[in-house]
C-alpha cells in the first residue's frame, strides 16, 4: 500500500487496526505511564547475562515487550509474571541456542534482536540475528554495532537472511569511539563489555536516561561501569553477573506524546508517573509553544496555556537535547500555532515523511530535504538532516490516513482528534507496539472514536 507520503506500508491487517475518529473534543483526564519501552526491552535482554533469575517491574504491556519475551523464550529463558502486577521474572538457567526459523518467526517487527549478540556470545559462544524490522525512519543501519562486536573479538558473518556471529576465543575488552552517540550501539557495547575479559573504554557514548537506567540494571547485576564526563564510559569486565530486581524508569516518550495531545486538542491531561528531570528540554519547548504544566510528586498535568499556540524553532538532538521521538506529536500541535515554526530533524534521515498526511488534513508544512540554516542553530549540521517549516494556525479537517510508524501514527491520531469532522486511521496496530492500552487511554480521556476494522 502506498502511503500519502509516497512510502509504502504493508499493514498487518487485524482487528483493532482501523479507527474512525470524530474530532473536535478536548482530551481530559488521567493516563498512567508505565516503564519505558526503550529501557524495559533492553533490561529483558540483559537478563541473559545473569546466572540467577531477574525481576523487572513496571513492564509495559506492548508488542515490543512481547517480541523480546518470545525471543528470550525461544532461547530457553523462562519468562513468567512476577508477584507484583506488571512485573516479569526472567530465568536464564535453561538458555540455549535457537533455530533460525524460531528466531525469525518472532523477531520480524523489532530492532531489539541486534542487542542479543553480546549476551548470546558470552553464554553460548555464537549467535544468529535475522534481518531487523522496526519503524521505517531512515535505513536504520547497524554498522556501529557490528564494528563494536568485531572490536570485542567476535567473528561477524553476514548471511542472506541475517548475521551469524561467533567468538571462538571469547570476548575481550575494547577501545571504541562511536562515530555518533547511537543509543543502540551504546547498549550493544554495554551488554557485551560487562563480561568481556579486561577493560572497555567507550567514547562518544549515548547518555539518554534509558541508557543510564540500563547502566543501573547492569550495576545491580554486579557489573563495574563508570560514567565519565564528555560521553566516556569505562567498563571493567567481570566473570559472573547475577540477576537484578529493577523498576524501569517511566516512558518519557509516551508522556511527551500525551502532553502534545493536550496541547493540540486544548485539553488537560495528568500523566501519572511522569518526572520533570528526564523531560526538562521537552518542558521548555512545551511552555515556549504556549503550553502550561503543573509538576507534582506523582506526575505532571499538561494543558494548553494560550490560544492560539506560539510558533517555535526546535532542533532534535541526542540527550540532553530535544529528543527525535518528541518531534512528531509536537509538529501536530505547531499546526495550530500563530506563525512559522521550524523543526530540524538531525538524528534520523527520514522522519518527516509523516507530515504529508497532515497537509492532506489542512496543515501547511513544507519539508526541506537538505535541512535549513538559522542563526539560532546550536546542533552541528548533519548531511542527513531535514527540516519542516510549519505555518499556522491552519484548521485541520478529517481525512483517511495510514499509520507509517510508531510516533508518526500517534501524531496522526491526535491530529484526527483535533480535526473538524471524521477521519479513518488505518494500520493502527503499529501504534500499539509502543503505547500500552492505547485505545483504553484514548477512551478514558474522552476521545470520540470507534474501532471499525
Catalytic site positions:
135
Residue 67 in the binding site for ligand EPZ (CB under 6 A): no
- Would you count residue 62 as binding ligand EPZ (CB under 6 A)? no
Q: Which is nearer to ligand EPZ, 135 or 312 (CB)?
A: 135
Is residue 325 a contact residue for ligand EPZ (CB under 6 A)?
yes
Chain centre distance of CA 361? 26
Per CB under 6 A, 320 contacts ligand EPZ: no
* CA–CA separation, 414 and 419 (whole Å): 8
Among 109, 257, 324, 335, binds ligand EPZ (CB under 6 A): 324
DSSP structure class, residue 342: E
Q: How far apart are CA 391 and CA 415, in angstroms?
A: 15
Please say which residue, 205 or 419, places its beta carbon nearer to ligand EPZ.
205
Confirm or reject binding of residue 132 to ligand EPZ (CB under 6 A): no
In the list 143, 240, 294, 420, the residue contacting ligand EPZ (rule: CB under 6 A) is 143
Is residue 142 close enough to count as binding ligand EPZ by CB under 6 A? yes
Query: Angle of helix 183-193 relative to helix 209-221, nearest 10 degrees?
Result: 10
Number of residues this chain uses to bind ligand EPZ (CB under 6 A): 27
Binding ligand EPZ (rule: CB under 6 A), the pick from 26, 35, 38, 356 is: 38
Q: Containing H/E element for 358?
A: helix 355-360
Task: Count how many residues are written for the chain.
Answer: 453
In the list 140, 203, 310, 424, the residue contacting ligand EPZ (rule: CB under 6 A) is 140
422-426 and 18-22 as β-strands: parallel, antiparallel, unpaired?
antiparallel
H helix or E strand, kind and range, residue 439: helix 438-444
Distance CA 108, CA 10 (A): 13
Which one of the spans 20-28, 135-143, 266-274, 390-398 is the region binding ligand EPZ (CB under 6 A)? 135-143
Find the part of the chain contacting ligand EPZ (CB under 6 A) among 49-57, 68-76, 82-90, 133-141. 133-141
Here's the x/- map for ligand EPZ, 199-228, by CB under 6 A: it reads as -------x-x--------------------
Phi/psi region, residue 338 (left: phi>0; alpha: psi -120 to 50; beta: rest), is beta
Q: What is the per-residue binding string for ligand EPZ in 177-196, x denoting contact by CB under 6 A?
A: ---x-xxxx-----------
- Nearby residues of 267 by Cβ (< 8 Å), 6 or more positions away: 26, 27, 28, 261, 303, 304, 445, 446
State which of residues 63, 252, 407, 432 lies at the interface with ligand EPZ (CB under 6 A).
407
The reply on whether position 348 binds ligand EPZ by CB under 6 A is yes
**Least Å from the CB of residue 184 to ligand EPZ:** 3
**40 vs 358, beta carbon nearer ligand EPZ:** 40
Q: Does 270 sit near ligand EPZ (CB under 6 A)?
A: no
Cα-only R_g, the chain = 22
Which residues lie below 8 Å from residue 235, measured CB to CB, with a gap of 6+? Answer: 173, 189, 190, 193, 194, 196, 199, 200, 202, 223, 224, 225
CB-nearer residue toward ligand EPZ: 337 or 411: 411
Tell me: does residue 144 bind ligand EPZ (CB under 6 A). yes
DSSP readout, 218-241? HHHHT-EEEEETTTEEEEE--S-B
Q: Which residues bind ligand EPZ (CB under 6 A)?
A: 37-38, 111, 135, 138, 140-145, 180, 182-185, 206, 208, 253, 323-325, 347-348, 406-407, 434
Amino acid at each position: 500500500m502506498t502511503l500519502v507520503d509516497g512510502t509504502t506500508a504493508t499493514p498487518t491487517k487485524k482487528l483493532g487496526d482501523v479507527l474512525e475518529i470524530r474530532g473536535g473534543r478536548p482530551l481530559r483526564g488521567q493516563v498512567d505511564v508505565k516503564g519505558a519501552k526503550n529501557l524495559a526491552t533492553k533490561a529483558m535482554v540483559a537478563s541473559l547475562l545473569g546466572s540467577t533469575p531477574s525481576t523487572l517491574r513496571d513492564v509495559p504491556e506492548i508488542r515490543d515487550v512481547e517480541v523480546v519475551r518470545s525471543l528470550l523464550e525461544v532461547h530457553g529463558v523462562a519468562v513468567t509474571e512476577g508477584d507484583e502486577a506488571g512485573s516479569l521474572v526472567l530465568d536464564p538457567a535453561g538458555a540455549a541456542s535457537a533455530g533460525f526459523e524460531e528466531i525469525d518467526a518472532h523477531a520480524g517487527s523489532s530492532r531489539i534482536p541486534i542487542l542479543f549478540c553480546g549476551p548470546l556470545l558470552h553464554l553460548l559462544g555464537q549467535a544468529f540475528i535475522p534481518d531487523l524490522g522496526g519503524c521505517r525512519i531512515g535505513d536504520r543501519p547497524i554498522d556501529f554495532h557490528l564494528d563494536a562486536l568485531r572490536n570485542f573479538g567476535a567473528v561477524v558473518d553476514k548471511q542472506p537472511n541475517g548475521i551469524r556471529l561467533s567468538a571462538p576465543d571469547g570476548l575481550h575488552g575494547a577501545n571504541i569511539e562511536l562515530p555518533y552517540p547511537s543509543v543502540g550501539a551504546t547498549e550493544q557495547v554495554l551488554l557485551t563489555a560487562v563480561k568481556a575479559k579486561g577493560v572497555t573504554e567507550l567514547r562518544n557514548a549515548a547518555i539518554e536516561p534509558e541508557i543510564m537506567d540500563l547502566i543501573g540494571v547492569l550495576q545491580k547485576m554486579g557489573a563495574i561501569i563508570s560514567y565519565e564526563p564528555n560521553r566516556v564510559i569505562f567498563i571493567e569486565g567481570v566473570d559472573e553477573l547475577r540477576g537484578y530486581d529493577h523498576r524501569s524508569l517511566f516512558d518519557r516518550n509516551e508522556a511527551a506524546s500525551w502532553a502534545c495531545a493536550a496541547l493540540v486538542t486544548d485539553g488537560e491531561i495528568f500523566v501519572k508517573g511522569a518526572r520533570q528531570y528526564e523531560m526538562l528540554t521537552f518542558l521548555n519547548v512545551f511552555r515556549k509553544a504556549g503550553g502550561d504544566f503543573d509538576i507534582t510528586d506523582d506526575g505532571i498535568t499538561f494543558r494548553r496555556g494560550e490560544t492560539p499556540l506560539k510558533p517555535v524553532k526546535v532542533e532534535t538532538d541526542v540527550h540532553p537535547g530535544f529528543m527525535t521521538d518528541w518531534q512528531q506529536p509536537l509538529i501536530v500541535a505547531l499546526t495550530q500555532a500563530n506563525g512559522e515554526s521550524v523543526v530540524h530533524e538531525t538524528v534520523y534521515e527520514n522522519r518527516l515523511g509523516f507530515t504529508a498526511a497532515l497537509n492532506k488534513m489542512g496543515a501547511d508544512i513544507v519539508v526541506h530535504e537538505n535541512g535549513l540554516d538559522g542563526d539560532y542553530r546550536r546542533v552541528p549540521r548533519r548531511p542527513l538532516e531535514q527540516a519542516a517549516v510549519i505555518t499556522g494556525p491552519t484548521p485541520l479537517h478529517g481525512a483517511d490516513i495510514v499509520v507509517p510508524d510508531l510516533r508518526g501514527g500517534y501524531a496522526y491520531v491526535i491530529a484526527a482528534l483535533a480535526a473538524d469532522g471524521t477521519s479513518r486511521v488505518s494500520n493502527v496496530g503499529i501504534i500499539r507496539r509502543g503505547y500500552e492500552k492505547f485505545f483504553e487511554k484514548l477512551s478514558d480521556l474522552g476521545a470520540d472514536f470507534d474501532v471499525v476494522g
